[in-house]
Amino acid sequence: MVNGLTINLFDFQEDTVVKLLDFTTDSNSKQTIVIKAPTGSGKTIILIGFADEYLNKVNSNTAFIWLCPGKGDLEEQSRKKMGEVAPYRKTQNLFDALQKGFVAESTTFINWELVTKRGNTAIRESEWKNLFDRIADAHRKGIDFIVIIDEEHSNNTAKAKKIIDAFSAKNIIRVSATAIQNNRYEFYEIDEMDVIDQGLITKALYVNEGIADNVEITDDYDYLLDIADKKRKAIAKRYVEVLDGKRIIRPLVLIQFPNGQPETILAVERKLESMGYTYDNGMVSKWMSEDKKDLPDNLSENDATPVFLLMKQAISTGWDCPRAKILVKLREGMSEQFEIQTIGRIRRMPEAKHYDDDLLDFCFVFTFDEKYKTGLLANMDKAYETRRLFLKEKCKTFTLEKQLRDLEANGLGEREVLYKIYDAFVAKYHLGSDKKNNKQILMGHGYVFGDEVLGQALHGQFVRTDMVAESKSYFVTRKRVDTHKHGMQLLHSVDSIKTAIGMPTAKVKTILERLFRKGGNSRKKLLALETAEFYAFVINNAPILKEDFRSVTSVMEQQTSFSVAPKTMIFRIPEQDFFKYDPGVKEEIEYLNNAYHDYTSGFAISLIRSTCEMLFEQYCERKDDIEWVYKNGDTGQQYFSIVYKDGLKHQWLFYADYIVMKKDGTVWVIETKGGEAKGKDKNIDRQIENKFDAFKNYAADRNLRWGFVRDKDNRLYINNTEYVKQMSDENWKPIESEF
């Protein structure tokens, strides 16, 4: 215990309390403290222990504000826990605080959604004002605030910031399983191995145990539920043997849907019913935001009846059910990502101890997801912050005509696009009229053929949760094409391909069929695939098809005439805007030439800007003939834009990087691009030539000075004549000679 701490904690939990006390009592510490606490480490107990110790030993004239995400009634769970382990401490909710105020030695548990969710009427305007009145009352009484932000990645909005700022807290403690270190804040990480050693969470997790390489699967849910139920029964039997009937632990299988499509849920319900598990016999429950069904009050108790729980992402954080041992994550398309933090729901041990039995001391994940990410990291976790800056008075009168797309400009027709794509494939792969030969050629370039949809299944044992996202250990999965079952997957793939050419899904699907599917018009046909082969071809090759289609759009297009002219409107520099800022910048200097007040080198650092952008802003700051420099936004109607056409004559918006006003009144518009390094082209923009020509025409029509700027060997070069990739070409001139 910590100096007689009244709450029993494990050693690593006590260490965390001590560290929090050190941070909050050291005058040299930063205001915000970030704690990375693995799921299952008992962060609620740790925070209760810290609050109790702080009030006992440091300053009793303090009110704690405990902010929780709205998912899963976490604020009520946390308040109940404090009532159990520290019943002598005053706790209240938001509405208690609105009525009675914030008093010393109290902890107020607040659901974020009550105060931040758009359209939420839980707090009326009068109550909203009263919240700030109550905070002001506490300040007048000399009460200090400490704000605890639980699951802090869940809420990071301007409205949330307004509430946090209003408390003017002595300290802000942000807790998350997915936090990353940031030099703006104090940081402390609880080692996941310490949590495992104490028996609070499983020794490891096993992903896709029992799934063999090259296994053929008919339905995701059918296959995964069978294998998960087999594992559940084995675990249940082992609990009976180990506990010898003295206690009941009924392992729970979580079935997670990314979106909860009605047809997928219905198919799973039917599958479970065929296995003998239904809502009627109490073995199945459903917990989704819009649909809660047969949820017993004791769902999270070890002996509760349900053994399957259907859920969405809604309970990926904040819900504690230690008997949950198996997670089945289903897919409803091809693009879903597996949220690693969801694993936390099955890592807890039901009796907070290990049994020296891998079947009981492991947890199990079954999924065919191929993309894994470590969590929903908010700006609070990122190494930069966002700051609002205000425009200088001298820039407020500046105007420039900008262009907007005319949405009625549809580009080339379906037949013309088909012909262009056909010609591009023939030219790139040297295809001909022999479709069997074409198939062999495409196979040689990485295209996959057959009547099976191929996938990947991660597999292996992982001790640390974050190791899952780093693993490259995959098995191949195969599914025989079923046009009914794979129809949605085909459309997902077509949707992915259509983003490359800007055409509706139905038209892109027709073009793919004309090019590759047997039947129909034989003109401009490269392959003659049977229906099942066509489905598999598009689904398996969607990424490479997308790239090949995109290459057609990047072909140089004459930008001189528009069949439907772009719309125009007057652009004015925004009077205030938000910019990314690196608080760790060293030897920070103000950029006096910038259009905004307080713009410094911290806004033009490698964390935020490309090398070319950094060099250009530094170059402008050294020039004495520049009145101001404006950094344009990347997207949005408030920013300066020019319209260009791609190779299919579709209109797109291009946001030039900088507008510069010289002291002689000359206006320059500058676009920065990746240059050359060690003889290699750093530019990644495939539309660069189309943008260059459009930019050239726009500037000529308006008598503007302009240029594309690229970097090589830390020097800048400008081109406003003819675009060429090689920077050794005479069209690329040292910037000093032109600008």
Instruction: Give the mean pLDDT of 203-218.
Output: 86
| Domain assignments of the chain as residue spans, ordered by start | 11-195, 204-373, 385-406+562-737, 414-448+482-553
CB 488 within 8 A of CB 473: no
Say if residues 422 and 522 touch (Cβ distance below 8 Å): no
Q: What is the dihedral of CA 551, 530, 367, 255, to 10 degrees?
A: 120
**Region for residue 542 given its phi and psi (left: phi exceeds 0; alpha: psi -120 to 50; beta: otherwise):** alpha
Per-residue pLDDT for 185 more than 50?
yes
E-strand stretches of 594-704? 626-631, 642-645, 651-654, 658-662, 667-677, 680-681
- Tokens describing residue 716: 């800048």
Closest CA to 454 of 214, 642, 663: 214
C-alpha R_g of the chain: 30
What kind and span of H or E run contains 223? helix 220-243
626 φψ region: left (φ > 0), alpha (ψ -120 to 50), beta (else): beta
> DSSP character for 735?
G
Sign of CA dihedral 719, 725, 731, 734: positive
Q: Give the pLDDT score at 703.
A: 84
103-107, 152-156, 269-273, 467-471: segment of lowest average pLDDT: 152-156
Residue 438, SS3?
helix
- Whole-number percent of the chain with pLDDT over 90: 53
Per-residue pLDDT at 321: 86
Per-residue pLDDT of 492-511, as tens digits, reads 899 889 888 878 889 899 99
Amino acid at 100: K
In this structure, of 18-27, 105-114, 118-127, 386-395, the range with the lowest mean pLDDT score is 118-127
Average pLDDT over residues 77-94: 92
Distance, in Å, from the CA atom of 74 to the CA atom of 286, rounded to the nearest integer, reads: 19
Identify the H or E element spanning 500. Answer: none
The span from the CA of 584 to the CA of 611, in Å, is 18
Q: Which residue has the tokens 């190779």?
A: 647
Most confident of 321-335, 368-382, 464-478, 634-648: 634-648
Q: How far apart are CA 285 and CA 614, in angstroms?
A: 56
Mean per-residue pLDDT for 416-431? 91
Q: What is the pLDDT of residues 164-176, one digit of tens each?
A: 888 999 999 999 8
Class of domain 385-406+562-737: alpha beta
Tell me if residue 626 falls in helix, strand or coil: strand
Phi, psi of 641 (to 5 degrees): -140, 155
Given a contact cutoff of 8 angstroms between Cβ atoms, the answer to whether 107 and 82 are in contact is yes
Q: Is 618 helix (H, G, I), strand (E, B) or coil?
A: helix
Query: Which tokens go with 436?
Result: 């069997």
**Amino acid making up residue 574:** P
In this predicted structure, what is the pLDDT of residue 479?
86
Instruction: Provide CB contacts within 8 A for 114, sequence distance 6+.
Output: 70, 94, 120, 122, 123
Query: Is residue 335 over pLDDT 90?
Result: no
| pLDDT at position 90 over 50 | yes
**CATH topology of 11-195 equal to that of 385-406+562-737?**
no
Buried b / exposed e along 283-294 (16+ C-beta atoms within 10 A): bbbbbbeeeeeb
Mean per-residue pLDDT for 446-469? 87
Give 558's pLDDT tier (boundaries 50, 70, 90). Answer: low
Residue 626 clears pLDDT 80, i.e. is over it: yes
Task: Output DSSP code: residue 442.
Answer: H
Helices 414-429, 542-553: crossing angle, 10 deg rounding? 110
pLDDT band of 290, cuts 50, 70, 90 = low
Structure tokens at 121: 């009427």
The contacts found for 396-401 with CB under 8 angstroms, 24 or more apart, are: 396/572, 396/573, 396/575, 398/572, 398/573, 398/659, 398/661, 399/570, 399/571, 399/572, 400/570, 400/571, 400/640, 400/659, 400/667, 401/568, 401/569, 401/570, 401/571, 401/702
How far, in Å, are 44, 91, 444 from residue 66 at the CA level? 10, 10, 60
Is it the case that residue 737 has pLDDT exceeding 60? yes
Identity of residue 288: M
Residues 707-721 pLDDT 10s: 999 999 999 999 999
DSSP letters spanning 292-306: EES--TTTTSTT-S-
What is the per-residue pLDDT for 451? 92
Mean pLDDT along residues 319-334: 82
Q: Where are the beta strands (DSSP E) in 47-131?
A: 62-68, 90-93, 106-111
Say if strands 308-311 and 284-288 run parallel, antiparallel, or are unpaired. parallel
Confidence category of residue 360, pLDDT binned at 50, 70, 90: very high
Which of the two residues, 673 and 385, has the higher pLDDT score?
Answer: 673
pLDDT of 405 reads: 81
Residues 148-157 have pLDDT tens digits of 988 754 445 5
pLDDT band at 344 (very low <50, low <70, confident <90, very high): confident
CA 188 – CA 13 distance, rounded (Å):
12
b/e map 533-571, b = 16+ CB within 10 Å: bbbbbbbbbbeebbebbbbbbbbebebeeeeeebeeeeb
Least confident of 110-114, 558-562, 622-626, 644-648: 558-562
Specify the amino acid at residue 92. Q
Lowest average pLDDT, out of 164-178, 349-363, 469-483, goes to 469-483
Residues 6+ apart with CB under 8 A from 129: none
At 384, the pLDDT band (50, 70, 90 cuts) reads: low
* 485 has pLDDT over 60: yes
Alpha-carbon gap, residue 514 to 505, rounded angstroms: 14
Q: Which two tokens stand for residue 638?
A: 């408030």
Q: Quickly count: other Cβ atoms within 10 Å of residue 694's Cβ.
A: 24
- Determine which helix (DSSP H) or strand (DSSP E) holds 161, and give its type and residue range: helix 158-167
| Assigned fold of 11-195 | Rossmann fold (3.40.50)
CB count within 10 Å of CB 518 equals 15
CATH of domain 204-373: 3.40.50
Which two tokens mark 406? Answer: 């005319």
The pLDDT confidence band at residue 694, using thresholds 50, 70 and 90, is confident
Helix, strand, coil content of the chain in percent (nearest 5): 35, 25, 40
Q: How many CB atoms lie within 10 A of CB 405?
A: 16
* Distance in angstroms (rounded) separating the CA atoms of residues 28 and 14: 22
pLDDT at 3: 47
Write down how long the chain is.
Answer: 739
pLDDT at 2 over 50: no
pLDDT of amino acid 484 = 81
First-to-last alpha carbon distance for the chain, in angstroms, is: 68
Q: What pLDDT does residue 313 have? A: 60
Cβ neighbours of 197 (radius 10 Å):
15
In eight-state DSSP terms, residue 567 is E
* H helix or E strand, kind and range, residue 327: strand 324-329
Q: Which residues pair with 709 in a beta bridge?
A: 672, 718
Contact, 327 vs 256, CB < 8 A?
Answer: yes
Query: CA torsion 288→289→293→294, rounded to 10°?
Result: 90
Q: Which residue has the higher pLDDT, 415 or 422?
A: 422
> Tell me, what DSSP letter sits at residue 2?
-
Mean pLDDT of the chain: 86
Q: Please write the tens of the pLDDT for every residue from 656-676.
A: 999 999 999 999 999 999 888
| pLDDT beyond 50 at 380 | no
Per-residue pLDDT at 468 exceeds 70: yes
Residue 35 is encoded by which pair of tokens? 């704690």
Model pLDDT, residue 61 = 97
What does the pLDDT average to over 43-48? 94
CA 613/CA 629 separation, integer angstroms: 12
Q: What is the per-residue pLDDT for 364?
A: 96
Q: What does the alpha-carbon distance between residue 303 and residue 284 come to, in Å, rounded to a whole number?
A: 14
